[in-house]
Chain A
């Protein structure tokens, strides 16, 4: 276990660890979870050695526990990420991120004529195909897919 070795990114006493993040989306994960505005320790490691992935990213967020819907949004960019809950330096739960049924706010609608691209409106999508990542806009009803997906600034 990596935790038993010398840790490149320090352990946290309580909080959430997101492990096995692809190196190119670490900062996107941080943005999706709104951690730029989080007022406690966030430890970020990237390009760390990983047996399974070659290189990987890891994010440790002190004293932060997510609800499922919130954390599952990261599956959009890091479908193989592990979400580990730490209490008292111990792993109490380890789960895989899962694409949620609904995605609010973080993604832009790909339709340039959609009202959400003109007014300050939180986007809302229903996930109609989790395997191929196909999202239907609640407003314009058009589909945004993996290929056309862009994150909100």
Chain B
């Protein structure tokens, strides 16, 4: 088993396949028993330079359930950051107050930089459009939990595959597990060629579609994402394609019985509410799994698991 004590988690490529699995195994333990006071002598700093509901609450809930104390801010307004303090100085200072830093910052690469100047480990909770590795780990946890394995699965990714960083990370991570990818998006929002190259380099296959109906029977996992109006320079173009990536309950009649629908949330209209009551909806449990995965990461990095 690899030792994750003292490590940073900035990018999905920072951990090996074995290390992901190690974290997922620890997360399973916390799912069975989430309240354990194993971090009662630790202080976790959550520094959110931009608002986030789910990620921040999930980290803070995870830390609280393990007995850690939390310091930090959910908005840089009112802190020295607003007075023009550099990220460097903020991090050096906070590192002297905490045992672990969890940071979200809209500037890309900020978490990597923070990890280089911090005396304590840093977990990236999202650095702009770049990386959000704990989202990817909870996606992997949800896939393994619902399918019993991560190996040899048919993964459909739907929606904005061009800008959606969660999809990029998920595809890259699933390349370790012999997945086949079914990519459904409007022409304008196809998966970038650099991510497709990762699939090819792993010797795996991908298929591209513009109609979600074409993948429903094949998929083990349908990973939905939001198609945002502002991504389209031409509003008419948005109107033309917006319904092609919407999932409703009636479309699911021929899917595999074990198939699950995932979504990083927030959802707008890309999954109609009638899907929520089907046995295929898994997005709310997926968000809940984020707590166990973040507990596992914090415990492993702080050396108590």
Contact = CB atoms under 8 A, between A and B. Distances in A.
Contacts of B194: 143
Interface stretch (B26-34, B102-110, B247-255, B276-284): B102-110
Given A113-B108, A115-B107, A139 B113 contact: yes
A96 interface: no
Interface stretch (B17-25, B71-79, B125-133, B147-155): B125-133
Interface string A79-123: 000000000000000000000000000000101011110111100
Q: Which of B108, B112, B130, B131 has the most CB of A within 10 A?
A: B108
A31 interface: no
Nearest to B11: A141
B2 to A, nearest CB: 23
B131 A115 contact: no
A26 to B, nearest CB: 32
Interface residues of B, number: 18
Contacts of A120: 86, 88
Interface string B171-201: 0000000000000000000000010000000
Interface string A126-153: 0000000000011111110000000000
Contacts of B130: 140-142
Contacts of B129: 113
A86 B109 CA distance: 42
A84 B303 CA distance: 53
A119 B105 CA distance: 13
A120 B89 CA distance: 12
Interface in B117-155: 127-131
A121 B110 CA distance: 11
B131 A113 contact: no
Given A113-B128, A113-B129, A141-B131, A121 B108 contact: no
B282 to A, nearest CB: 29
Contact of B107 (A118, A137, A138, A141): A118
Nearest to A123: B109
Interface in B81-116: 86-88, 105-110, 112-113
B110 A115 contact: yes
A134 to B, nearest CB: 10
Contacts of B109: 109, 114-116, 137-141
Contacts of A140: 108-109, 127-128, 130
Contacts of B87: 115, 118-119
Contacts of A111: 108
A114 B108 contact: yes
A114 B128 CA distance: 9
Interface in B1-51: 11
B113 A115 contact: yes
A152 B264 CA distance: 38
Contacts of B107: 113-115, 118
B113 A121 contact: yes
11 contacts: A113-B106, A114-B107, A115-B112, A115-B113, A119-B87, A139-B112, A140-B108, A140-B128, A140-B130, A141-B130, A141-B131
Given A118-B87, A138-B109, A141-B108, 9 more contacts: A109-B109, A113-B106, A115-B107, A115-B127, A116-B113, A137-B109, A141-B109, A141-B131, A143-B194
Interface of B: 11, 86-88, 105-110, 112-113, 127-131, 194
Q: Which 7 A-B pairs have the closest CB atoms?
A: A139-B109, A140-B108, A140-B109, A115-B109, A115-B110, A115-B107, A113-B108
Interface of A: 109, 111, 113-116, 118-121, 137-143
